[in-house]
A and B are shown apart, each in its own frame.
Chain A
Amino acid sequence: MPMKIGTGEFKERVDKGIHNSFMRGAVAGAQERLRTRRLEAAEELGNWEEWRALGEEIRKHTLENLDYYLWQLSENVAKRGGHVFFAQTAEEANEYIRDVVVKKNAKKIVKSKSMVTEEINLNPVLEAAGCEVIETDLGEYILQIDDHDPPSHIVAPALHKNKEQIRDVFKAKLNYKKTENPEELALHARHTLRQAYLTADVGITGCNFAIAESGSITLVTNEGNADLVTALPKTQITVMGMERIVPTFEEMEVLVSLLTRSAVGQKLTSYITVLTGPRDQGDVDGPEEFHLVIVDNGRSNILGTEFQSVLQCIRCAACVNVCPVYRHIGGHSYGSIYSGPIGAVLSPLLGGYDDYKELPYASTLCAACTEACPVKIPLHELLHKHRQVIVEREGKAPISEKLAMKAFGLGAASSALYKLGSKLAPSAMNPFTVNNRISNGPGPLKAWTEIREFPAPGKERFRDWFHNRQKGDHQS
């Protein structure tokens, strides 16, 4: 799956999302649950704002010293017998991973959940090399067997599907005979996946946090699938975005605590696994060979810009779970594997404005995302910055909007023009006004009045009333 998903224009995708009542029901339900749980978990921990401030400080510090920590990480991985590869592009990363897999003569690969491998579109490369690739995160597994349906949420990739739909996919693809009971569905998947772990040649994982001081990687799951992916196959390849790193175990602990609470409202997930290099003497399990692939793919271009704070993201999806726009259009409308507010900020940076120019406008700037973010990324401000870049640097704004805003600038900066304009407004609107209401407005009002009434500007503005009243006061 590349970063870009779906077909059609943004408007068409949104239209499809809005008319998908299954998806909308599932998303609204999940949002309520996850939001409530997150707030309860934060409350239970106490001093949430201080924890957020600490999370932000850790992420900011790490990004400001990213070169140092990446160097430290790679030194420590190498010391423990692991291999490190810095990939500047998706192609470089895929090529390296394919070479490892081919060298190992691997036929079967198990993967635990990883957004960055979706971003670089790894699976088709491995399949082209003759490998069977099996996703082991239940959500990802469901999507994979459903003809590679794209993820619609960064934490819960199959959020857009309800249990009945999942049952139907299992029936069609896995010869499943039972009901939509989630336990029966999960049991069926577990049986299939257990066999895959035991027979896989290579395990590929993502990375929640790499720890620079020890060369370790941290994986956070509720299914334990990452543990099996890393414990059983002889070769392990971990793929990480270059910013997914912390200096020491101490910072990892803080961020994991913020991540699990923000993502699913849990104090800790069922499994939090820290792995350091390949199997050591005396270890009972673990891979014989370990590769860490550190992916740039556009990230270093964000460093040092006004968008740097987006790299603070720890992929908890708290912003997605509170977004009122995501709520109604779902993840696929974004056209990117990164959806919701974080996706609307990140996708244009990694994938360019040509494909993602609408996303910064798919927000009311209500700031629910900013309020929810556990590492204090000012998401709504970054969406606003994108708009500014689109207008000022990219020149991609429509001409009519440019002219309207130019006129606004002139009118709002001059009281004489403002007064004249507002004085003339009622007669200009007169042809469209019935009973002090505009129901079918011209120009920009058209879109408004397609769904709502618009109040006609009154003949007496507030300022006229106030002025006359003051005059009256003076006369009396």
Chain B
Amino acid sequence: MKVTLFVTCLVDLFHTNVGKATVELLERLGCEIEFPEAQTCCGQPAYNSGYVKEAKEAMKHMIRTFEHAEYIVTPSGSCATMFKEYPHIFKGDPEWEPRAKALADKTYELTQFIVDVLKIENVGAKLKGRATYHTSCHMTRLLGVKDAPMKLLKNVDGLEFVPLPNSHNCCGFGGTFSVKMGPISEQMVDEKIHHIEEVNADYLIGADCGCLMNIGGRIERQGKPIKVMHIAEVLNSR
């Protein structure tokens, strides 16, 4: 199966290991990976800040870049959600609405793709330790992907899974919120970390690099012994 990878700007620039793990994992599951080099960013930073005009330029560029793909797969629930929003954003635009819809229809978040399209729930991963999972807001509430990561993590050999208390509460990332509303964001991320500590997790796993940068960056600043991993890295552990 040919998969076109939308790696996301955060992974491309800051979390290259997540991209590498995604490629290796999907290849092992029998996919052929294509990476369109023209890809940039889904436009979410500008869109969520209210700069719709600027965001639309980025979106049009991404639609052009991925138009040829059969399956678009991305290791980010939030960026996948953004692609899914494109038809709504271009509503009423005779040229771009149908193109946006075509793009949205073939976009999948990584775990969603593995479980729903590849129909695989055990990827043969091994990781020893106690782990909890951060359900990122856009992925669960807007994209509606709740079960796929759980199904996959349950089958990771050696991983003891513990649910995260108050998992429904946002970690305080929210894109520019994390800097615009720094003091509030700080309280939110600290409460999240408090709950991670409460269950004595060695690993915090998530499917969105934005949230993981926020939680991980704060954990690192506080020097806490919790390892933050993207689910692609976990599923690629052997």
List residues of chain A with CB under 8 Å of any chain B CB.
Answer: 11, 14-15, 18, 322, 324-325, 327-329, 361-368, 370-371, 384, 386-392, 397, 401, 405-406, 408-415, 418-419, 422, 425, 437, 439, 444-445, 447-448, 450-455, 457-458, 460-463, 465-467
B128 at the interface (CB under 8 A from A): no
B186 contacts which chain A residues (CB < 8 A)? 451
As a 0/1 sequence over residues 36 to 56 of chain B, the CB contacts with chain A under 8 angstroms (1 = contact) are: 011111010111111111110
Q: How large is the interface on B (under 10, 10 to 19, 20 to 34, 35 or more residues)?
A: 35 or more
Find the B residue at minimum CB distance from A17. Answer: B184
As a 0/1 sequence over residues 137 to 172 of chain B, the CB contacts with chain A under 8 angstroms (1 = contact) are: 110011000000000000000000000000011101
A448 contacts which chain B residues (CB < 8 A)? 178-179, 182, 217
Interface centre among B53, B179, B188, B214 (most CB of A within 10 A): B179
Interface centre among B54, B168, B189 (most CB of A within 10 A): B54
14 A–B contacts, CB within 8 A, in A order: A327-B169, A328-B188, A364-B172, A365-B174, A405-B49, A412-B43, A412-B46, A415-B65, A447-B180, A451-B189, A452-B221, A455-B213, A463-B37, A465-B20
Known contacts A365-B174, A465-B19, A466-B23; A405/B46 CB under 8 A? yes
A457 contacts which chain B residues (CB < 8 A)? 13-14
B16 touches A458 (CB 8 A): yes
Interface centre among B46, B137, B181 (most CB of A within 10 A): B181
Q: Select B16's contact among A18, A324, A362, A465, beta carbons within 8 Å.
A: A465
Distance between Cα atoms of A391 and B47 in the complex (Å): 11
Find the A residue at minimum CB distance from B187. Answer: A328
A392 touches B52 (CB 8 A): yes
Q: How far is the CB of B21 from chain A (nearest CB, A)?
A: 11
Q: How far is the CB of B101 from chain A (nearest CB, A)?
A: 18
A413 touches B60 (CB 8 A): yes
Q: 10 new A-B pairs (CB below 8 Å) besides A413-B61, A452-B214?
A: A325-B188, A361-B181, A391-B51, A392-B52, A408-B54, A412-B46, A413-B58, A422-B12, A452-B189, A466-B35
List residues of chain B with CB under 8 Å of any chain A CB.
Answer: 7, 9, 11-16, 19-20, 23, 35, 37-41, 43, 45-55, 57-58, 60-61, 65, 137-138, 141-142, 168-170, 172-189, 191, 213-214, 216-218, 220-221
A418 touches B40 (CB 8 A): yes
A466 touches B19 (CB 8 A): yes
A452 touches B16 (CB 8 A): no
7 interchain residue pairs of minimum CB distance:
A364-B174, A409-B54, A387-B50, A452-B217, A412-B58, A462-B19, A366-B137
Distance between Cα atoms of A461 and B15 in the complex (Å): 9
Q: How far is the CB of A16 from chain B (nearest CB, A)?
A: 11
Distance between Cα atoms of A170 and B183 in the complex (Å): 34
B58 touches A409 (CB 8 A): yes
Distance between Cα atoms of A450 and B183 in the complex (Å): 10
B220 touches A462 (CB 8 A): no
B61 contacts which chain A residues (CB < 8 A)? 412-415
Distance between Cα atoms of A164 and B172 in the complex (Å): 31
B170 touches A364 (CB 8 A): yes
A401 touches B49 (CB 8 A): yes
A329 touches B23 (CB 8 A): no
Known contacts A361-B177, A411-B40; A397/B184 CB under 8 A? no
A425 touches B137 (CB 8 A): no
Q: How far is the CB of B52 from chain A (nearest CB, A)?
A: 5
Distance between Cα atoms of A386 and B48 in the complex (Å): 11
Interface centre among A14, A392, A418 (most CB of B within 10 A): A418
